[in-house]
Amino acid sequence: MKDIVYFDLETRHSAAEVGGWHNTAEMRMSVGVTYSTLLDEYKIYREEEVMELIDQLRKADLVVGYNHLHFDYGVLQRYDMWSMADTTRNLDLCKDIEDRYGFRLKLDSIAGASLGNSKTAVGTQALKWWAEYAKTGNEDLLMEIAKYCCFDVKVTRDVHRYGIEHGHVKYDDKKGGIAEIAVDWAR
């Protein structure tokens, strides 16, 4: 059986705190989450376990994420000397849509229109949880980040599966309607 690993991570610092989006490696991972189709399970990684996360991604037959080639792999680059994009097989749903159609869509827009559900929070909330965790050591806050990240992985997985099943995804066209674009994610 093929192992598709869906992946997302949250960071400790914002782009503003590290001098801009070109410094993603300086944002550092707070929590990373994967879902493996082979194992049929989610796995949560702390920064101390980042090499286990990298190992799982490298062993996967396919890593599926949303803007993971640019952002998430940029964050992981601080932990490994090898390029994650060069040492993994990937389908970045965001990049695929942008390459095909010339515009970027938010995962939330696609999930809402295609699946009828959306993300549970925004990334800035995860940063607030991390800052409070760093001050207090309250493990409940770390679990909030993990739950948020797990849900993003689930949404990415469900959007990917929807695209495979239907050959398209829908999105909010920001004019009060729903638009549809073809995708070829069954490859």
| Domain ranges, ordered by start, for the chain | 4-182
Enter the tokens of residue 81.
Answer: 């000397």
- The third-level CATH classification (topology) of the domain covering 4-182 is Nucleotidyltransferase; domain 5 (3.30.420)
Per-residue exposure over 2-14, b if at least 16 CB sit within 10 Å of its own CB, e if not? eebbbbbbbbbbe
CA torsion sign for 131, 135, 141, 143 is positive
Residue 84 to residue 51: CA distance in whole angstroms: 12
Could you give phi then psi for residue 44, rounded to 5 degrees? Answer: -110, 135
Judge whether 154 and 35 are in contact, CB under 8 Å: yes
Structure confidence at residue 119 (pLDDT): 58
Structure confidence at residue 118 (pLDDT): 67
- Tell me the chain's radius of gyration from C-alpha atoms: 16
Per-residue pLDDT of the chain (187 residues), as tens digits, is 799 999 999 999 999 999 999 999 999 999 999 999 999 999 999 999 999 999 999 999 999 999 999 999 999 999 999 999 999 999 999 999 999 999 999 999 999 999 987 655 566 889 999 999 999 999 999 999 999 999 999 999 999 999 999 999 999 988 888 999 999 998 7
Structure confidence at residue 71 (pLDDT): 96
Q: Which of 106, 130, 105 is nearest to 119 (CA)?
A: 106
3-state secondary structure of 30: strand
Structure confidence at residue 167 (pLDDT): 97
Q: Which of 43, 4, 28, 1 is nearest to 158 (CA)?
A: 4
Mention every residue, 6+ apart, whose C-beta is less than 8 A from residue 30.
9, 10, 11, 12, 46, 47, 126, 130, 133, 142, 145
Structure confidence at residue 122 (pLDDT): 65
- pTM strictly above 0.85: yes
Task: Considering only the C-alpha atoms of the chain, give the largest distance between any 2 of them, rounded to a whole number of Å.
Answer: 47
Structure confidence at residue 115 (pLDDT): 93
